């Protein structure tokens, strides 16, 4: 099996510039595969002056002939995926024949967003600072073995109807004054499944075939190590394994498929949402970093908290992920300091 497959992941709290690094490296790879997260992630890439913000589809899609994979470790909001595909199409970039969506990936449903908002409200001052896009509750359903997967949308309609009806009924009991009707949700997911059908595949099998042919694969992470559900600053973390360990479970590839791990870090530190940030700055200096680096979330547009480079954090990421190299971004933002 090829030893030139690499993982590209964040070594801090996200927003390190992974999308740009993936875009730069993509010409050396036949496939780019996303292994975890949802549309709470945002990779911003500029191509010939045109800005692209990708939330689910790997930024490798901007390169002709490259296959892009959304793994089973990703939770998918079908409507968000369709919006992304339509935006690419408007810019002359087609995905047919180049996009593979795992049949085992879990679906984000409308009530997941409601539960996300409700959960944050209940926490009060201890809120996590989520994007309220339903990612956490979708992962909760996955672990609770009541989730709905892409393959379910394409299978037995009666079984799917029963699952949706039971889940909506349970959510109505949890959400005060909720009277969500299961039938429109069912109709929506069936329609989404049919639209997704051409892209649905066993991505583990597809990736093994690519690698068996001696072609190279880049495994793309979303968020970053310090937001990893197991190794991050818990509980102020995301709901998936953003570290290198997530590659194998999120795509169905063995550890020996990974030939190297590239960490991406900024020359300073940022994070979105709540939780610890040991080197955090405030006042004029924080504002200067934020404005110079345009530190606003690619997904929610929220201003990022800014601080100095934290070598302890990056050293920790190097240990957790077994980093072979580090891509340091945004050095120019520190010009004048």
Structure tokens at 44: 């911003």
What is the 8-class DSSP label of residue 215?
Answer: -
The DSSP line for 244-311 is TTHHHHHHT--GGG--EEEEEEESEEEE-SSS--TTB--HHHHHHHHHHTT-B-TTT-PBPEEEE--H
Q: How many CB atoms lie within 10 A of CB 213?
A: 9
The sign one gets for the Cα dihedral 128, 244, 271, 40 is negative
Q: How many CB atoms lie within 10 A of CB 35?
A: 32
Q: Which residue has tokens 């030139």?
A: 4
Q: Which residues, 6 or more positions from 55, have their beta carbon under 8 angstroms from its beta carbon?
A: 38, 39, 40, 41, 42, 43, 80, 84, 298, 299
Q: Which residue has tokens 């709290």?
A: 13
The sign one gets for the Cα dihedral 174, 180, 183, 184 is negative
Q: CA-to-CA distance for 29 and 43, rounded, in angstroms?
A: 18
Instruction: Write the CA distances from 324 to 23, 142, 225, 258, 332, integer angstroms.
Output: 19, 32, 15, 11, 24
Instruction: Write the CA distances from 3 to 9, 32, 205, 212, 247, integer angstroms.
Output: 18, 15, 18, 11, 15
Residues designated as active site: 15, 43
């Amino acid at each position: 099996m090829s030893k030139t497959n690499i993982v590209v992941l964040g070594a801090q709290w996200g927003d390190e510039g992974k999308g740009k690094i993936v875009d730069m490296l993509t010409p050396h790879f036949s496939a780019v595969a996303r292994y975890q997260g949802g549309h709470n992630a945002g990779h911003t890439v500029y191509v010939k002056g045109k800005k692209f913000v990708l939330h689910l589809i790997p930024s490798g899609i901007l390169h002709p002939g490259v296959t892009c994979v959304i793994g089973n470790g990703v939770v998918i909001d079908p409507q968000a995926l369709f919006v992304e595909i339509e935006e690419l199409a408007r810019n002359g970039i087609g995905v047919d024949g180049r996009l593979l969506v795992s049949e085992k990936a879990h679906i984000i449903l409308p009530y997941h967003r409601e539960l996300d908002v409700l959960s944050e409200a209940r926490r009060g001052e201890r809120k996590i600072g989520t994007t309220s896009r339903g990612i956490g509750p979708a992962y909760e359903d996955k672990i609770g073995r009541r989730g709905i997967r892409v393959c379910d949308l394409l299978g037995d309609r009666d079984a799917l109807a029963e699952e949706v009806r039971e889940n909506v009924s349970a959510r109505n009991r949890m959400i005060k004054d909720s009277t969500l009707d299961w039938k429109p949700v069912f109709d929506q997911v069936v329609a989404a499944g049919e639209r997704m059908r051409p892209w649905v595949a066993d991505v583990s099998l597809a990736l093994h075939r690519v690698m068996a042919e001696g072609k190279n694969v880049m495994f793309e992470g979303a968020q970053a190590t310090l937001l990893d559900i197991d190794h991050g600053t818990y509980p102020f973390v995301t709901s998936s394994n953003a570290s290198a360990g997530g590659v194998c479970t999120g795509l169905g590839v063995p550890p020996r498929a990974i030939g190297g791990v590239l960490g991406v870090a900024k020359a300073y530190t940022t994070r979105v949402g709540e939780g610890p940030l040991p080197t955090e700055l405030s006042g004029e200096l924080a504002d200067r970093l934020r404005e110079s680096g345009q530190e606003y979330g690619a997904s929610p547009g929220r201003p990022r908290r800014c601080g100095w480079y934290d070598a302890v954090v990056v050293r920790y990421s190097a240990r957790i992920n077994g980093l072979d190299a580090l891509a340091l971004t945004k050095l120019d933002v520190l010009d004048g300091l």
